Chain A
Amino acid sequence: MITALLLFWPALAALLVLLIKGQGAKKVAFVAALVEFALAIVATTGFNAADGSMQYELNLPWVESAGIGFHIGMDGISLLMVLLTTFLVPLIILSAFKHDYKDPNIFYALILFMQTGLIGVFVALDAFVFYFFWEVALIPIYFVAAIWGGVNRIKVTFKFFVYTIFGSLFMLAAFVYLYFQTTGTGIANHSSDVQAFYQLALSAESQSWIFWFLFIAFAIKMPVFPFHTWQPDTYTESPTQATMLLSGIMLKMGIYGVLRWLLPVVPMGVSQWDELVLILSIIGIIYASVIAIRQHDLKRLIAYSSIAHVGLIAAGIFTLNEQGLQGGVIQMLSHGINVTGLFFIIDIIYRRTNTREITSLGGITQNAKTLSIFFMILLLGSVALPLTNGFVGEFLLLMGVYQYNAWFGAVAGLTIILGAVYMLRMFQGVMFGTKSEVTEGFTDLTMNEKAVLIPLVIMVFWIGLFPNTFLSISEPAVMNLMTIINR
């Protein structure tokens, strides 16, 4: 029941927000998002962390004659993703308080509506429900990015939209195929339930091509090299809130999809192609890191760093060992928190100086001490310094990759060095040095901005110091997943 509430509350709130004229919409949206977060906390407190199976399940008939059920529920992995989503969305809305977007009611309604899509993806336990929400999450973010975005927004978001739908349609075709391989219960001959998919015993040959149909959809969303070409432009051109949603939460849809719908469904397909996926991911890590070093635009730099980080997550989960999978789950949280914070700081700087060029910035530390501290913490989290959240995830991921293949581990480990290079180079260029013309009158953080950054920074340390709070939630689910994969 609470799953359904979590799922539909944002959509209902979106309708409410739509009716509010003027800038009051953002306040209502913020409160609605907080309520949603409270719901997620309630769900967490009632959650039995020792149990790796699905909890809070709800299974209603949807297209009954076809065996398609509206089946939702959460295990530890889903719960963490739901927590991440519900934690970030209020902050993302709060971060927009200083902006006066035109048509605010539509803007905030779309964000809340997208939250329904995101939650739906994370709690779906039926293939067609999953696909349904997968696309439902895309439509609002497309409009947010394409209407409120930068100069080149139309061309860029067009590519983003067509590219991602192109991938998801392959996933749909694969789901339809898998659906017909299942044996259902009741009046329907087939079932699209996740458990029915897990019980499939397909030939290695069909698993092989289904793997690619599913993988393309997820790889485009993440994005994994070489399916990443839409990403830097879209992140750069979108309004900051959309960029935060895309990088903080939406790309986790792709990773989550791999965990729930790819690895356990076609394990033989995975074992045929995992090496290639790891190679692609590691190429992506190095490639994106090197490009990030060469970037002058702050938003583009973080966009490329995001590709590098996601590459490591992808590499980790495709190792199929416990460290890799657990590392992937915890790193999804960490990356979501860090990248959201970093994009927000870039937005703060941009709003005060009207530029995102590293070369025209400098000396901000002298004026804005608090900003510098927050920036530094989030940045260190991102470069995986011990005691920060990034360290836990990257350590586990690299350990996983190392166990899979020591050479892969060694090359992927370069991400730590390269990450430090581009991040510190950025920090140096933006924050240190002499003041430039535009940073002359730079003011420190306002209350509103602190309100966004403080929760994020707390999370950086929480995950960094006590990762077990979160690892213990996902562990039974990950073990369960591994049993299904190795069946």
Chain B
Amino acid sequence: MTSIILLSVFGIINLFVGFMKSKKILLPLALLFLVVVFGTNLLSWNNGQTYFNNMLTIDNYAVAFTGIMVLTTLFILPFSQRYIDAEDENLAEYYSILLFSLVGAIMMVAFENMIMLFVGVEILSIAMYVLAGSNKRSLRSNEAALKYFLMGSFFTGVLLFGIVLIYGATGSFNITEISAANVMADGTTNTMFILGLLILIIGISFKISAAPFHFWAPDVYEGTPTLFTTFMATVVKTAGVAAFYKLMHSAFGDSITAWYPTMIAITVLTLVVGNIGAVIQPSVKRMLAYSSISHAGYLLMTIVAFNDLSDNAIFFYSLSYAVASVMSFGVLKLVSDERRDESFAAFNGLGKTNPLLAFVMTVSMFSLAGIPLTAGFFGKLFVFSAVVATGNLMWLVVLAVILAAIGIYYYIKVVIAMYMQPAGENTKVPVSSFATLVLIICTVLTILLGIVPGLVSDIL
């Protein structure tokens, strides 16, 4: 709760500081704010409370995911150095919008009432529509913003429609009460309830770019300035998946028969579309967009696993994925800013020109691919374990394993470009010291969690 208030206040302070002549203070200030929020957020650990007449519950689950999201934002901001250097006039607004959008993200992982879920989704989405189009003179950025906005508004409507139908069937927006109403208990089929549930699933699936509602993601990811794509791929996705997981488990745990086949279908489709789609992408950014779809698929596997292992599995996977994504998108941003190219060829010879960046990118690719020594391996291991523990979904794990092998194919392409292709005309990419620090922290974190996953693997 303190996090929400603090972030809102800090966002406003940031806006006002933006009136000052020098923009240099903005980044350290925003980082300081985030560190404060990260700290106060941890104070709520094992100290769960509900707020606003049961609208929000800050439990350990919410604290853990808020932690991931705040930390990720903290890691993303230093990559905005170029905006500072270019003295972008809207810098303060960007930072404030990011802080505000975090408020929405926190609401999404802490909601107790579906109204709060909706408000959270809206706060986050509207911020993202703006940021997608923040590169005002770029046609692609404008296209991304318009596409995202039109699609997003439509699916927000769908989401609301679902919430309303559920309300009609159960008489409540509160997830505990919805669960208690248990309209499916005596084996009756409540059409309004099932319809509402399916529509709700569709609405959230869109937000986390799960197939078949993923079609917007590659275009939007590609058109959006890379800084904000990183935010979309990490914070927005984490918030969406965490909200989805919480919703399905807390509100609809008893009506599992109604959504289980749909959920499995969405999971399988997302895994297949993400992994197969990524193979044929000519640009690294689009490849990462598809890869983020595929990771949504692995995260959805925890929802279908639905047991006492899945809580920790989704947390660990989200953390490892978010950190690895910051690394990959971060390096992509640095490289593409310098070389004006987002294709695989832009990475040619990076191992020679920037050994550190190449190493960071390699670790991140291996983590996303789930190869040992990185956090991503244990992420996949825990997710697969949770699914195997259900007993009857071995086939899903086998499918995921095959698709993970395909995933290695496109991740390793980047590594090949960096180490085995000659640099040609590619020159050294300049990296600010802030960004270097963040990349090193992320790399150490990824390898650390890849060697001693026990640090955070059973905190929930």
Determine whether the beta carbon of B419 is less than 8 Å from that of A147: yes
Chain B window 404-425, contacts with chain A (Cβ cutoff 8 Å), 1 for yes, 0 for no: 1100110010001001110000
Determine whether the beta carbon of B372 is less than 8 Å from that of A136: yes
Counting CB contacts under 8 A, is A1 at the interface? Answer: no
Counting CB contacts under 8 A, is A485 at the interface? Answer: no
- How long is the Cα–Cα vector from A96 to B183 in the complex, in angstroms? 73
Determine whether the beta carbon of B408 is less than 8 Å from that of A165: yes
Which residues from B are CB-within-8-Å of A179? 385, 388
Counting CB contacts under 8 A, is B264 at the interface? Answer: no
Determine whether the beta carbon of A162 is less than 8 Å from that of B409: yes
Decide: A146 near B404, CB < 8 A? Known: A63-B454, A131-B372: no
Nearest B residue to A65, CB-CB: B458
Which residues from A are CB-within-8-Å of B409? 162
Determine whether the beta carbon of B373 is less than 8 Å from that of A62: no
Decide: A63 near B453, CB < 8 A? Known: A146-B416, A172-B384, A173-B384: yes
Counting CB contacts under 8 A, is B444 at the interface? Answer: no
Counting CB contacts under 8 A, is B381 at the interface? Answer: yes
Nearest A residue to B455, CB-CB: A63
Which residues from A are CB-within-8-Å of B405? 162, 165-166, 169
- How long is the Cα–Cα vector from A356 to B372 in the complex, in angstroms? 37
Counting CB contacts under 8 A, is A158 at the interface? Answer: yes
Which of A132, A161, A172 touches B408 (beta carbons < 8 Å)?
A161
Determine whether the beta carbon of A147 is less than 8 Å from that of B454: no
Residues facing A in B425-458 (CB within 8 A) are 452-454, 457-458
Residues facing A in B53-82 (CB within 8 A) are none
Which residues from A are CB-within-8-Å of B381? 128, 172, 176
Counting CB contacts under 8 A, is B5 at the interface? Answer: no
Determine whether the beta carbon of A176 is less than 8 Å from that of B385: yes
Decide: A139 near B373, CB < 8 A? Known: A61-B454, A162-B408, A177-B388: yes
Determine whether the beta carbon of B420 is less than 8 Å from that of A146: yes
Determine whether the beta carbon of B420 is less than 8 Å from that of A147: yes
Counting CB contacts under 8 A, is B401 at the interface? Answer: yes
Chain A window 162-180, contacts with chain B (Cβ cutoff 8 Å), 1 for yes, 0 for no: 1001100110110011011
Tell which of B402, B405, B419 has the most Cβ of chain A within 10 Å: B405
Determine whether the beta carbon of A161 is less than 8 Å from that of B412: yes
Counting CB contacts under 8 A, is A143 at the interface? Answer: yes
Which residues from A are CB-within-8-Å of B454? 61-65
Distance between A42 CB and nearest chain B CB, rounded to angstroms: 26
Chain B window 211-223, contacts with chain A (Cβ cutoff 8 Å), 1 for yes, 0 for no: 0000000000000
Residues facing B in A132-149 (CB within 8 A) are 132-136, 139, 143, 146-147
Determine whether the beta carbon of B384 is less than 8 Å from that of A135: no
- How long is the Cα–Cα vector from A133 to B451 in the complex, in angstroms? 11
- How long is the Cα–Cα vector from A42 to B304 in the complex, in angstroms? 51
- How long is the Cα–Cα vector from A128 to B397 in the complex, in angstroms? 17
Tell which of A146, A147, A169, A173 has the most Cβ of chain B within 10 Å: A169
Which residues from A are CB-within-8-Å of B458? 63, 65-66
Determine whether the beta carbon of B372 is less than 8 Å from that of A169: no
Determine whether the beta carbon of A146 is less than 8 Å from that of B385: no
Counting CB contacts under 8 A, is B394 at the interface? Answer: yes
- How long is the Cα–Cα vector from A147 to B415 in the complex, in angstroms? 11
Counting CB contacts under 8 A, is A221 at the interface? Answer: no
Residues facing A in B330-387 (CB within 8 A) are 366, 371-373, 377-378, 381, 384-385
- How long is the Cα–Cα vector from A162 to B452 in the complex, in angstroms? 26
Distance between B442 CB and nearest chain A CB, rounded to angstroms: 19
Total interface residues in chain B, CB < 8 Å = 31
Which residues from B are CB-within-8-Å of A162? 405, 408-409, 412
Which residues from A are CB-within-8-Å of B35? none
Counting CB contacts under 8 A, is B265 at the interface? Answer: no
Counting CB contacts under 8 A, is A154 at the interface? Answer: yes
Total interface residues in chain A, CB < 8 Å = 32
Counting CB contacts under 8 A, is B398 at the interface? Answer: yes
Determine whether the beta carbon of A172 is less than 8 Å from that of B419: no
Nearest A residue to B369, CB-CB: A165
Nearest A residue to B352, CB-CB: A103
Counting CB contacts under 8 A, is B389 at the interface? Answer: yes
- How long is the Cα–Cα vector from A64 to B455 in the complex, in angstroms? 10
Which residues from A are CB-within-8-Å of B384? 172-173, 176
Which of B371, B402, B416, B421 touches A139 (beta carbons < 8 Å)?
B371
Which residues from A are CB-within-8-Å of B416? 146, 154, 158
- How long is the Cα–Cα vector from A143 to B366 in the complex, in angstroms? 13
Distance between B229 CB and nearest chain A CB, rounded to angstroms: 27
Residues facing B in A399-445 (CB within 8 A) are none
Which residues from B are CB-within-8-Å of A64? 454
Which residues from B are CB-within-8-Å of A65? 454, 457-458
- How long is the Cα–Cα vector from A61 to B408 in the complex, in angstroms? 30
Which residues from A are CB-within-8-Å of B453? 63
Counting CB contacts under 8 A, is A299 at the interface? Answer: no
- How long is the Cα–Cα vector from A172 to B378 in the complex, in angstroms? 11
Determine whether the beta carbon of A169 is less than 8 Å from that of B404: yes
- How long is the Cα–Cα vector from A180 to B308 in the complex, in angstroms? 14
Counting CB contacts under 8 A, is A26 at the interface? Answer: no
Distance between B95 CB and nearest chain A CB, rounded to angstroms: 38
Which residues from A are CB-within-8-Å of B412? 158, 161-162
Distance between A170 CB and nearest chain B CB, rounded to angstroms: 6
Which residues from B are CB-within-8-Å of A128? 381
Counting CB contacts under 8 A, is A153 at the interface? Answer: yes
Tell which of A64, A66, A154 has the most Cβ of chain B within 10 Å: A66
Determine whether the beta carbon of B366 is less than 8 Å from that of A139: yes
Which residues from B are CB-within-8-Å of A177? 388, 394, 397
Which of B371, B373, B377, B385 touches A180 (beta carbons < 8 Å)?
B385
Tell which of A61, A63, A64, A176 has the most Cβ of chain B within 10 Å: A176
Determine whether the beta carbon of A153 is less than 8 Å from that of B420: yes
Which residues from A are CB-within-8-Å of B385? 66, 176, 179-180
Which residues from B are CB-within-8-Å of A136? 372-373
- How long is the Cα–Cα vector from A66 to B366 in the complex, in angstroms? 23
Which residues from B are CB-within-8-Å of A66? 385, 457-458
Nearest A residue to B398, CB-CB: A173
Distance between A142 CB and nearest chain B CB, rounded to angstroms: 9
Distance between B183 CB and nearest chain A CB, rounded to angstroms: 33
- How long is the Cα–Cα vector from A406 to B115 in the complex, in angstroms? 76
- How long is the Cα–Cα vector from A272 to B378 in the complex, in angstroms? 33
Which of A61, A154, A169 touches B420 (beta carbons < 8 Å)?
A154
The interface of chain B, by Cβ under 8 A from chain A, is: 366, 371-373, 377-378, 381, 384-385, 388-389, 391, 394, 397-398, 401-402, 404-405, 408-409, 412, 416, 419-421, 452-454, 457-458
Given A136-B373, A162-B408, A166-B405, 8 other A-B contacts at CB below 8 A? A63-B458, A65-B457, A132-B372, A132-B373, A146-B416, A154-B421, A176-B381, A176-B384
The 6 A-B residue pairs whose C-beta atoms are closest, nearest first, are: A65-B458, A166-B405, A135-B372, A169-B401, A132-B372, A63-B454
The interface of chain A, by Cβ under 8 A from chain B, is: 61-66, 128, 131-136, 139, 143, 146-147, 153-154, 158, 161-162, 165-166, 169-170, 172-173, 176-177, 179-180
- Identify 25 residue pairs between A and B in the complex whose beta-carbon atoms are under 8 Å apart, listed by A's number: A61-B454, A63-B378, A66-B385, A66-B457, A66-B458, A131-B372, A133-B372, A135-B372, A135-B377, A139-B371, A146-B416, A154-B420, A154-B421, A162-B405, A165-B371, A170-B398, A170-B401, A172-B384, A173-B388, A173-B398, A176-B381, A176-B397, A177-B397, A179-B388, A180-B389
